[in-house]
Structure 1
Amino acid sequence: MENKWVRAALPALLIHGSIGTVYAWSVFKQAIADDIGTTVPNIEWAFSIAILFLGLSAAALGHFVERDIKKSALLSTLFFVVGMIGTGISIHQKSLLGIYFFYGVIMGIGLGIGYLTPVKNLMLWFKDNKGLGTGLAVAGFGLAKMIFSPIMISLQLNVGLWQMFVILGGVFAIMMLIGVILIKKPADWQEKPLENKFKPLKLIKTPNFIGIWLMFYLNITAGLAIISQEKDILMGLKTNSGSAIFSVAAITIIVSVDAFFNAAGRVGFASFSDRLKDRNTIYRVIFIMSLIMALSAYLLPDQATLMPIVIVSTFFLINAGYGGGFSALPPLLADRFGMHAISKIHGMTLTAWAAAGLSGNQLASFIVHGLGMDYKMVFIVIAVLYAIAFIISMTLVDSKQTLVE
């Protein structure tokens, strides 16, 4: 069938729904540390390395994705599945370096290629609603955690930790290979050679690229700073008598609903940007909304009746804005730089994700554990980050198209 749902939306969901399970990291990181006899901080580096190589591989292989999306989808499948199975074998062998290599480097490369592959295709098929198209793709990335987290927990309990990675490697191989078979560019789109050689240095010197990169980086850093602390913050909320406000079961539900808001934000904000004269406006909405929520959580007294509601609402809306920042990015880049080199430009912008993956979690950990401050200080720090991002969106990012061919 030659339609946008079969050739673009479904393969995007299959590919992103597989690689998006990287965000289920918290489900098994403690189990890995216990199983191989190391600490969680040591294991955490595997996730950081994966996000680092996601950004680096996306930047380096954007040209490959431009040329042939079927081959790039297949290569992504190969790296991601080998990374999953290799991680399981490394756990079985008690090898921390093996986990770094397979989960971090190999799987990270699969993540970068796989993340880029469906995006341009969706914007070509959904040419009148580019935001909706990219929102559908990255919604799969956000929903993967919600769908597969309980499956991962069940597999750990019933078949074992390293076996879980091997089994899921097989499942994801099937899902992603179906995506490889289905994915196809529209018949009326012909890839044309760039009139001039693509010049990355020219791109990174443009105010638009600098501004968009910084906005994207700050939004991810602020989002990760909160997302990484959600469980601890909720467990720390107490009643006047000193008892916990949220049970473990309630916290589990809240974190699951977070994943829904993340996915909803990816579809909602990007789709809404289709109706705007300037897509940059959607980022300003995200930054102001997140800034207001972070300040509310910081300023409200700990024992205020509304505190639990404000904290949970802040989590939900920051998650929505975090997800929306990802899905609104490719259409914004297409508006500013054109479609012909969009995979290369998108890949280079994703280096901001790589950088934020190394700084977001560490920022919150440094504030709470390194400096010994209250968790509320995280809210005021990210409020400042959102304010800076808003100023950048108002000054550096203009509405002019700058072709870098």
Structure 2
Amino acid sequence: MENKWLRAALPALLIHGSIGTVYAWSVFKQAVADQIGASVPEVEWAFSIAILFLGLSAAALGHFVERNIKKSALLSTAFFVIGMIGTGISIQQKSLIGIYIFYGVVMGIGLGIGYLTPVKNLMLWFSDNKGLGTGLAVAGFGLAKMVFSPIMMALQTHVGLWQMFVILAGVFAVMMLTAVALIRKPLEWHEQPLVHRFNPMALVKNTNFIGIWLMFYLNITAGLAIISQEKDILTGLTQTGGTMAFSVTAIATIMSIDAFFNAAGRIGFATFSDRLKDRNTVYQLIFLMSLIMVLLTYFAPQTSTVEIIVIVTTFFLINAGYGGGFSALPPLLADRFGMKAISKIHGMTLTAWAAAGLSGNQLASFIVHGLGMSYQVVFGAIAMLYTVAFLISRFVVKATRTIIE
């Protein structure tokens, strides 16, 4: 059967629905630290390294994805599954270095290749609605956290932490190998060799690319600063004895709803961008929405029902804008630079994700654990990041098209 849902949408959801579990990090980071006898800031580096290698591998292997998406899907599966198993064994052996290597480096490479693999394919199958296509491609990242966060918490309780990684590695292997079997570009599409060797320096010198890279980086940094700390923030509100305390089940439910908003934002914002004269406008909407919410959180009265309602709502909308920033990116790049080398250009832009992986959750961790300040300060810091991102989107990124080969 040859249709876009079977050959593009379903494989994308299976791949991203597996690798997207990287965003369930806050569900088990404390448990990892406790089990291996390390501090949370030390363990946090595993997540940062994973996002770093996601971006680096995407930038380095964009050409490989362009040539053969079946092979790239298979390679992503191998790295991701081996990384999961190695992480479980490293936890069992109480090896922090092993966790850095397997969760950070090995799994991170699988993340980068797997993230790129379905994107161009969906834009080809959904050529008239590229935003919808890429929204479907990366919605799995949000859905993964929503579906697997409660499963991870249950597995930790009933079978153990390191066993959870090994069991889920088997589940993800089945999901991703099914995607390998299904994924294929449209029969009428034939990859044309580049007339000239792809010149990354031409891209790096392009003002639009610089602006897009910077606003993408700032959106991820701000989002990660919140997303990586959600469980800790909710637990802290509970421990302070406010007017509303959250049980473990309630926290898991809120985080699952966060993930739903993340997935909905990926589909919603990207699809909405299909209807805009300039897709860059959707980023301005994302940054304004996010800025308003973090300012409301920063100035909300503390230890009150209002504060808790505002914080939870902020989680939901930050997740939506964070996800939307990812899904609207490939069609924006296609509009500015064409489709011919889109996987390579997209891969280079994802180096912003790599950089943000080192700054996002580390920023929040430094403010809270390093400086001993409250999470309120984190919201104030990311408000400044969203302000700068909006200004870049508004005044730096222009509606000009440059074909780069």
TM-score bracket relative to the smaller structure = over 0.9
- Give the equivalent residue in structure 2 for 1:89: 89
Q: Secondary structure at the match of 1:257?
A: helix
- Give the equivalent residue in structure 2 for 1:233: 233
- Give the equivalent residue in structure 2 for 1:224: 224
After superposition, give the CA deviation of every residue in 1:329-373 in whole Å (9 maximum; x if it has no partner): 011011111111000011110111111111011212222333333
CA distance in 2, matches of 1:98, 1:304: 43
Query: Within the alignment, does 1:347 sit opposite 2:351 as a pair?
Result: no
Query: Within the alignment, does 1:282 sit opposite 2:262 as a pair?
Result: no
8 Å Cα contact 1:11-1:178 kept in structure 2: yes
Identity %: 77
After superposition, give the CA deviation of every residue in 1:45-104 in whole Å (9 maximum; x if it has no partner): 111111110000000000000001011001111111111112222222222222211111
> How far is the alpha carbon of 1:145 from its aligned partner?
1.1
CA distance in 2, matches of 1:356, 1:404: 25
- Give the equivalent residue in structure 2 for 1:164: 164
- Give the equivalent residue in structure 2 for 1:247: 246
1:36–1:267 CA distance, 2 compared to 1 (3 A): same
Query: Within the alignment, does 1:135 sit opposite 2:132 as a pair?
Result: no
CA distance in 1, matches of 2:243, 2:232: 12
Residues 202-213 of structure 1: pairs in structure 2 closer than 5 A: 202-213=202-213
Q: Secondary structure at the match of 1:186?
A: coil
Please report the TM-score for the alignment, with normalisation by the length of structure 1.
0.95
Residues 98-137 of structure 1: pairs in structure 2 closer than 5 A: 98-137=98-137
1:157–1:301 CA distance, 2 compared to 1 (3 A): closer
CA distance in 1, matches of 2:152, 2:98: 21
> How far is the alpha carbon of 1:403 from its aligned partner?
1.2
8 Å Cα contact 1:15-1:114 kept in structure 2: yes
1:119–1:77 CA distance, 2 compared to 1 (3 A): same
> How far is the alpha carbon of 1:304 from its aligned partner?
6.0
> How far is the alpha carbon of 1:404 from its aligned partner?
1.3
CA distance in 1, matches of 2:185, 2:40: 43
After superposition, give the CA deviation of every residue in 1:286-335 in whole Å (9 maximum; x if it has no partner): 00111111111122332665332222211111110001001000110111
Q: Secondary structure at the match of 1:357?
A: helix
Q: In structure 1, give the amino acid aligned to 2:253.
A: I
- Give the equivalent residue in structure 1 for 2:17: 17
Q: Secondary structure at the match of 2:22?
A: helix
- Give the equivalent residue in structure 1 for 2:54: 54
Residues 267-278 of structure 1: pairs in structure 2 closer than 5 A: 267-278=267-278
1:257–1:285 CA distance, 2 compared to 1 (3 A): same
Counting matched residue pairs gives 404
> How far is the alpha carbon of 1:118 from its aligned partner?
0.2
8 Å Cα contact 1:142-1:323 kept in structure 2: yes
8 Å Cα contact 2:7-2:182 kept in structure 1: yes
1:304–1:31 CA distance, 2 compared to 1 (3 A): closer
Q: In structure 1, give the amino acid aligned to 2:218.
A: L
Q: In structure 2, give the amino acid aligned to 1:17.
A: G
> How far is the alpha carbon of 1:242 from its aligned partner?
5.2
Q: In structure 1, give the amino acid aligned to 2:306.
A: L
8 Å Cα contact 2:243-2:305 kept in structure 1: no
8 Å Cα contact 1:76-1:111 kept in structure 2: yes
8 Å Cα contact 1:236-1:244 kept in structure 2: no
8 Å Cα contact 2:147-2:256 kept in structure 1: no
Query: Within the alignment, does 1:260 sit opposite 2:248 as a pair?
Result: no
Q: In structure 2, give the amino acid aligned to 1:318.
A: I
- Give the equivalent residue in structure 1 for 2:383: 383
CA distance in 1, matches of 2:376, 2:294: 9
- Give the equivalent residue in structure 2 for 1:370: 370
8 Å Cα contact 1:235-1:244 kept in structure 2: no
- Give the equivalent residue in structure 2 for 1:178: 178
Q: In structure 2, give the amino acid aligned to 1:272.
A: F
Q: In structure 2, give the amino acid aligned to 1:270.
A: A
8 Å Cα contact 1:131-1:328 kept in structure 2: yes
Query: Within the alignment, does 1:194 sit opposite 2:194 as a pair?
Result: yes
Query: Within the alignment, does 1:298 sit opposite 2:289 as a pair?
Result: no
> How far is the alpha carbon of 1:108 from its aligned partner?
0.6
- Give the equivalent residue in structure 1 for 2:3: 3
> How far is the alpha carbon of 1:195 from its aligned partner?
1.6
> How far is the alpha carbon of 1:225 from its aligned partner?
1.4
Q: Secondary structure at the match of 2:61?
A: helix
> How far is the alpha carbon of 1:140 from its aligned partner?
0.6
CA distance in 2, matches of 1:146, 1:49: 23
> Does 213-222 or 152-161 show the bigger shift?
152-161
Q: Secondary structure at the match of 1:306?
A: helix
8 Å Cα contact 1:11-1:183 kept in structure 2: yes
RMSD: 1.8
> Does 390-399 or 242-251 show the bigger shift?
242-251
- Give the equivalent residue in structure 2 for 1:144: 144
8 Å Cα contact 1:56-1:351 kept in structure 2: yes
CA distance in 1, matches of 2:233, 2:102: 32
CA distance in 1, matches of 2:347, 2:55: 7
> How far is the alpha carbon of 1:397 from its aligned partner?
0.7
